[in-house]
């Protein structure tokens, strides 16, 4: 009797290119849920470099509560374990091919998780950073040292920026793009001009920005081509006892300095919803109170997610 099953194909005989196209439609949870364990063909497809140019972990957020002592955040154990499991599976499947890595701004990761990631992403070019609270100076510096090809960084504001910018200047010779999600004061502006004088693209959107800090940036970053200050609360801080003043439009000294830029992106409109939100939040925009993916938006296309 003829074997009626002899002409059937198994999962293992599926075309690799077809599988890759299918897997490109899966999110990070689906990709790491076991597709690589079905058979050899699925494993090969799950490790294809096309799937891992970008590792988008922004679907994962920490389950946390705020506390009164450092690090001012307590992250639930199960939340942390879920993140670690998904991250490790993704990094193993990627085989070192990740060039863009995106974390949610509300993800609190530890030094060991960051350095583990850095070791397995040696070709990283773009990083969207998570929250800082659980990351120490040594942790971020060790990671940056491994990212020799890093070109672009989106990061929360940081109270002591010199050590990080200095490490980037030493380790990342191709670095050219920076987005700061938070206030940029005189210290931050001075740090940028000192350690990253060749910066070409800078976004400070939706934050509080002092005019003296802005002038330091425009005077000091001679190679800057694109500057985005859309929806910023621009404040002038005169010597005491004079009170600070919120500007409703850009003044001549700023406009004269900005004329050399290829793109100077601004919006200070009273009718703009994002401008209203930044003003209502006093320059520290509370992203969790708005649309889910609003934090990913940027008027600079290369910095949008």
The chain-wide mean pLDDT, for the chain, equals: 92
Residues 279 and 100: their CA atoms lie apart, in Å, by 32
Q: In the 8-state DSSP scheme, what is residue 178?
A: E
pLDDT single digits (tens) 55-97: 999 999 999 998 888 888 899 999 999 999 999 999 999 999 9
Q: What is the CA radius of gyration of the chain?
A: 23
Top pLDDT among 107 and 40 is at: 107
pLDDT the model gives residue 12: 64
CA distance 232 to 57: 28
- What's the pLDDT at 95? 95
Give the whole-angstrom CA distance, residue 305 versus residue 297.
Answer: 7
CATH architecture of 53-171: Alpha-Beta Horseshoe (3.80)
pLDDT at 123: 96
Phi and psi torsions of 179, nearest 5°:
-125, 130
Residues 140-156 have pLDDT tens digits of 999 999 999 999 999 99
**pLDDT class of 1 with cuts at 50, 70, 90:** very low
Taking the model in full, what pTM does it have?
Answer: 0.91
Give 244's pLDDT tier (boundaries 50, 70, 90). confident
Percent of the chain with pLDDT over 90: 76
- Candidates 232, 227, 211, 123; CA nearest to 177 is 227
Give me the sheet containing 208-210, strands edge to edge.
Answer: 208-210, 233-236, 245-246
The span from the CA of 69 to the CA of 56, in Å, is 31
Helices (DSSP H) in the chain: which residue ranges? 16-23, 28-31, 40-46, 77-94, 111-119, 137-146, 162-171, 186-195, 211-220, 252-258, 273-280
Cα angle 56, 59, 64 (rounded to 5 degrees) comes to 125
Q: What is the pLDDT of residues 184-241, one digit of tens each?
A: 899 999 999 999 999 999 999 999 999 999 999 999 999 999 999 999 999 998 888 8
* Tokens describing residue 82: 């879920």
pLDDT, mean of residues 32-58: 88
Q: Mean of the pLDDT values across residues 31-56? A: 88
All structural domains of the chain with their residue ranges: 9-51, 53-171, 176-295
β 208-210/226-228 pair status: unpaired
């Amino acid at each position: 009797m003829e074997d009626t099953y002899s002409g059937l194909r198994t999962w293992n005989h599926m075309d690799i290119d077809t599988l890759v196209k299918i897997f490109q439609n899966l999110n990070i949870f689906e990709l790491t849920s076991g597709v690589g364990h079905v058979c050899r063909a699925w494993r090969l497809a799950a490790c294809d470099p096309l799937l891992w140019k970008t590792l988008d972990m922004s679907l994962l957020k920490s389950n946390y509560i705020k506390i009164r002592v450092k690090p001012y955040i307590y992250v639930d154990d199960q939340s942390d374990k879920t993140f670690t499991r998904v991250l490790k599976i993704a990094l193993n499947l990627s085989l070192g091919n990740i060039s863009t890595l995106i974390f949610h701004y509300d993800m609190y990761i530890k030094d060991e998780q960051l350095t583990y990631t850095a070791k397995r992403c040696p070709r990283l070019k773009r990083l969207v950073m998570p929250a800082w609270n659980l990351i120490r100076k040594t942790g971020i510096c060790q990671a940056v040292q491994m990212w020799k090809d890093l070109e672009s960084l989106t990061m929360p504001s940081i109270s002591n920026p010199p050590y990080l910018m200095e490490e980037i200047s030493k380790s990342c010779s191709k670095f050219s793009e920076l987005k700061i999600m938070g206030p940029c004061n005189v210290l931050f502006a001075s740090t940028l001009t000192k350690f990253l004088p060749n910066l070409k693209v800078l976004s400070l959107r939706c934050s509080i920005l002092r005019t003296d800090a802005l002038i330091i940036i425009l005077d000091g970053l001679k190679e800057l081509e694109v500057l985005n200050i859309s929806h910023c609360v621009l404040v002038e801080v005169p010597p005491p006892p004079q009170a600070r003043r919120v500007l409703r439009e850009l003044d001549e000294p700023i406009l004269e300095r900005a004329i050399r830029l290829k793109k100077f992106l601004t919006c200070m409109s009273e009718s703009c919803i994002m401008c209203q939100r930044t003003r209502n939040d006093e320059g520290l925009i509370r992203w969790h109170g708005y649309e889910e993916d609003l934090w990913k938006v940027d008027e600079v296309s290369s910095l949008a997610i």
